[in-house]
Chains A and B, each alone.
Chain A
Amino acid sequence: EAGVVQSPRYKIIEKKQPVAFWCNPISGHNTLYWYLQNLGQGPELLIRYENEEAVDDSQLPKDRFSAERLKGVDSTLKIQPAELGDSAVYLCASSSRTSGGNEQFFGPGTRLTVL
């Protein structure tokens, strides 16, 4: 079974440019998460989807960040315009309540560098 797929793996952009990250969760997983992780620290939740509905976006900086999961499967996270402080790893994770627990399966992340 394929794991969570993220692309690109690395992205370098100049400040004020837009950037987008893509995530394809594990097949059948209805819950999808986007996290931001700074070097050596724990992930911080940006947004959580249940199917196509964003059920928790309280930590998403909505002035520059947006996300969508139109068909309840894959998802895109966008930053426009990017700032220097946005440099971090952006992790996508998915989970399924039908498994009886809440194990989150993480993708490898997209490392963003804003110059």
Chain B
Amino acid sequence: TQLLEQSPQFLSIQEGENLTVYCNSSSVFSSLQWYRQEPGEGPVLLVTVVTGGEVKKLKRLTFQFGDARKDSSLHITAAQPGDTGLYLCAGASSGTYKYIFGTGTRLKVLA
């Protein structure tokens, strides 16, 4: 069974601080996605990474896919209250469209 462990599980920081969320697995994924989910809503896709070592930036968010395609990280620079939410990684194995979601990281950014 593929498992995607995210750390930390909870994170509460002050506005302006930087943070990194990790997504780790013992399995290799052909692609990995990051989603953000706000209360009462479904997850919304932020990024998809498919190449080992790939780095993608989305404004203040930087996503990296591990060289071995088993792990990923999400770094947020100068966090803002609007970044508050549940961050989820999701990985898919080669040849499938089945994404396994991670355990989630709940981020709260205080003004």
Contact = CB atoms under 8 A, between A and B. Distances in A.
B41 to A, nearest CB: 5
The interface residues of chain B, by DSSP majority, are classed as strand
B98 A45 contact: yes
Contacts of B51: none
Given A43-B101, A56-B98, A106 B90 contact: no
B99 A41 contact: no
Interface residues of A, number: 24
28 contacts: A31-B97, A40-B86, A41-B104, A42-B6, A42-B88, A42-B90, A42-B101, A42-B102, A42-B103, A42-B104, A44-B101, A48-B97, A91-B42, A93-B42, A95-B97, A102-B31, A102-B48, A103-B45, A103-B48, A104-B99, A105-B45, A106-B41, A106-B44, A107-B42, A108-B40, A108-B41, A108-B42, A109-B40
B92 interface: yes
B99 A102 contact: yes
Nearest to B10: A40
Contacts of B43: 43, 91, 104, 106
A41 B100 CA distance: 12
A101 B48 contact: yes
Most chain A CB inside 10 Å of its own CB: which residue of B42, B90, B92, B99: B42
A97 interface: yes
A79 interface: no
Interface of A: 4, 31, 35, 40-45, 48, 56, 91, 93, 95, 97, 101-109
Contacts of A104: 43, 45, 99
A17 to B, nearest CB: 24
For this complex, into which size category does the number of interface residues on chain B fall?
20 to 34
- A-B complex: 5 closest residue pairs judged by Cβ atoms: A106-B42, A42-B101, A42-B104, A103-B45, A43-B101
Interface string B68-87: 00000000000000000010
Contact of B104 (A40, A103, A106): A40
Contacts of A31: 97
B108 interface: no
